[in-house]
A and B are shown apart, each in its own frame.
Chain A
Amino acid sequence: MLSNYIKIAWKVLLRHPFYTFITLFGISLTLTVLMVLTSFLDHLFGAHYPENNRDRSLYIATMMLTDSAETSMSTGPASFRFLSRYAKSLKTPENVTIISNFSFSNTYINGKKIKLNTKYTDAAFWHVMGFEFLEGKPYNEQHTKSGEHVVVITDDLRNQYFEKKGQTVIGQNIEIEGIDYKVIGIVKGSPATRLYTYSDVYFPYTAPKSNYENKGMQGSYIAIALAKDQTDIPAIQSEFDSGIKSIPMSEIRGERKFNILIIKAEEYFDHFLNTFARRDQDKLMLYSMTALVILMFIGLPAINLVNVNVSRILERASEIGVRKAFGAPSKALLWQFIIENIFITCIGGVLALGLSYLIIYLINSSGWIPYADLTINFAVFLISVGVCLMFGFLSGVLPAFRMSRLKIVDALKG
């Protein structure tokens, strides 16, 4: 049965090279874009090195101060002080880390000035994140307490800064902004798309210029709370919220004329979304726009395929008539056309898979995103297969339905 269907599907494909090319081109292009896009979204939002624990992490990244009339507002990261008081003190999480937002410093290599991405973190950072240490160790609470001049750097910076290859650089000094720091660990770098972990150099927060002692609620730090388990997330959020609620008005008023403080512990995607759309209304808009774009993106090739199929099916009227005359129920014919379409979309799917691998390989190796680690993971693949099947199904059902209403005698005449 299946082989009979596939044989004829194959023949029909070969009989119309141009249609076949157009159809396959449409399908594989759509699927390729879809796969690369999903892979990219997964790269941005999924739990990957070194934020391997993103699934059970809550991000406290933006603080908004406003007045009840919303005549003015001030949005930005919080201060180290604020976060150590209201985030670090949380009881429910397994661990909480405070990290500075990105900042820059200069260093000199062979007399040439180099701009470095820098980050100030606490010791908990190394527990919350899943950094791989190629050499040495992270700094610990001892280091932060005593304010020692130590740093952890990436392998890339090590290779740039230190000349002698193949020798350990642990214990050697790196000079940044005129201060010598002792390198105590080398990590495999984080992709630049992971803002909270990406850096060339990691300092203990007590290092010079970290501004961790700044007064006021706003500053340049964010906190990440790691839940013991995903199910603890709501509990952490409510613990954090009640802490924020207990802040006396006088403290909020301290900063200009604001009387409303909004700061939340959110999962990564929500926290990201909130930077674009804070109100529910905006979110709905954003979601529906995305849905529309995706629908159009999948829908257009599907409609095209339906069209091609409908016109092509008419020339197969005689075949349909014969099959029906010899006892094919409409259901069997329906399946035949669906299977044919799934067959062609699967060919398109295989092409798309190959193409996606190539594109992702090129993105990863181009250095366009430092440490890019895009992959076609299982989920991406499953989504694509699902889309394939939907394509095949959609484009098969309509023509098959038209055909099933065809009278046998008319079909045989045609």
Chain B
Amino acid sequence: MIKLQNVEKVYRTSSIETLALNNINLDVKKGEFVSIMGPSGCGKSTLLNIIGLLDAPSKGIIEIDGRKVERFNDKEIAPLRNKMLGFIFQSFHLINDLSVIDNVEIPLLYRSNNAKQRRELAEEALEKVGLANRMKHFPKQLSGGQKQRVAIARAIVGKPEIILADEPTGNLDSAMGNEIINILQSLNENGATIVMVTHDDAMAKRTHRLIRLFDGTQVL
């Protein structure tokens, strides 16, 4: 489902060069639930962003669902992100000016769905995360756990095959965190391929496979 070959990422600023990822090779199968661990600054987020086509690698090849991503131009990548990928971020990244349901609808805005279909799909996704009763609320009126559930609803509303989560429980207490992992697990059981960055061993244990990074290099 996700294939990385000899991927390298160098951050260049005017004074320094940081080798954030060094020769990464990765093959995530369809339906797998993979976690990524490693000390702070080792390149976990960088790796996830490259898998999610949010950033271009400095070197190497990326394949999503058998399609090689060669040119990182907007026209080619935007539809791929839209249809194949769903993101969950540590700090939720909900749009505060939009209601819960409008936030969840966002991925569908860039498809050919009409307003009615969008509403129906968004309601369905919110039901899956148990927030059907908060549709008209605004992000500021929700708890952290609820916000992350809205973010999950947004990630799954377009039924992408791959879900990418960067420390989805990092800002939550353990009870809330558990709830989130439960949801991710059930999504995985229903066929989603998931890659999750985490700091929590207990969370990592609940996934199929663990990838360890150290200083931009894969050590496991």
> A332 — nearest CB in chain B belongs to which residue?
B110
Across the interface, A321 reaches (CB within 8 A) one of B93, B109, B115, namely B93
Query: A7 and B102: CB pair below 8 A?
Result: yes
Query: Contacts of B158 on A, CB cut-off 8 Å?
Result: 326-327
Query: A409 and B54: CB pair below 8 A?
Result: yes
Nearest CB of B to A405, in Å: 10
Query: Contacts of A323 on B, CB cut-off 8 Å?
Result: 106, 110
Does A310 interact with chain B (Cβ within 8 Å)? no
Interface residues of A in 311-357 (CB under 8 A from B): 318-319, 321-330, 332
Assembled-state Cα–Cα distance A322/B151 (Å):
11
Interface size class of B (residues with CB under 8 A): 20 to 34
Query: Contacts of A407 on B, CB cut-off 8 Å?
Result: 55
Query: B105 and A4: CB pair below 8 A?
Result: yes
Query: A319 and B95: CB pair below 8 A?
Result: yes
Query: Contacts of B111 on A, CB cut-off 8 Å?
Result: 327
Query: B102 and A4: CB pair below 8 A?
Result: yes
Assembled-state Cα–Cα distance A8/B111 (Å):
19
Does A412 interact with chain B (Cβ within 8 Å)? yes
Interface residues of B in 128-184 (CB under 8 A from A): 154, 158
Which of B36-44, B71-79, B203-211 lines the interface with chain A?
B71-79
Query: Contacts of B154 on A, CB cut-off 8 Å?
Result: 326
Query: B110 and A322: CB pair below 8 A?
Result: no
Interface residues of A in 8-51 (CB under 8 A from B): 8, 11-12, 15
Query: B97 and A12: CB pair below 8 A?
Result: yes
Nearest CB of A to B75, in Å: 7
Query: Contacts of B74 on A, CB cut-off 8 Å?
Result: 329-330, 404
> A11 — nearest CB in chain B belongs to which residue?
B97
Does B49 interact with chain A (Cβ within 8 Å)? yes
Nearest CB of B to A339, in Å: 12
Assembled-state Cα–Cα distance A213/B85 (Å):
93
Does A1 interact with chain B (Cβ within 8 Å)? yes
Interface residues of B in 41-92 (CB under 8 A from A): 49, 52, 54-55, 74-75, 78-83, 85-87, 89
Query: A326 and B87: CB pair below 8 A?
Result: yes
Nearest CB of B to A406, in Å: 12
Query: A326 and B110: CB pair below 8 A?
Result: yes
Query: A8 and B78: CB pair below 8 A?
Result: no
Query: B109 and A4: CB pair below 8 A?
Result: yes
Nearest CB of A to B58, in Å: 14
Query: B54 and A325: CB pair below 8 A?
Result: yes
Q: Mark A373-414, 1 if CB is under 8 A from B, else 0.
A: 000000000000000000000000000000010011100100
Nearest CB of B to A410, in Å: 9
Does B216 interact with chain A (Cβ within 8 Å)? no
Nearest CB of A to B219, in Å: 24
Across the interface, A328 reaches (CB within 8 A) one of B75, B85, B93, B110, namely B110
Query: Contacts of B95 on A, CB cut-off 8 Å?
Result: 8, 318-319, 322
Counting from the closest, the 6 A-B pairs by CB-CB distance are A327-B82, A11-B97, A329-B78, A326-B107, A327-B81, A408-B54
**Can you show 29 pairs from A to B with CB atoms below 8 A apart?**
A4-B106, A7-B97, A7-B98, A8-B97, A11-B98, A318-B95, A319-B95, A319-B97, A321-B93, A322-B93, A323-B106, A324-B78, A325-B52, A326-B87, A326-B106, A326-B110, A326-B158, A327-B80, A327-B82, A327-B107, A327-B111, A328-B109, A329-B75, A329-B78, A329-B79, A407-B55, A409-B49, A409-B55, A412-B54
Chain B interface (Cβ < 8 Å from any Cβ of A): 49, 52, 54-55, 74-75, 78-83, 85-87, 89, 93-95, 97-98, 102, 105-107, 109-111, 115, 154, 158
Chain A interface (Cβ < 8 Å from any Cβ of B): 1, 3-4, 7-8, 11-12, 15, 318-319, 321-330, 332, 404, 407-409, 412
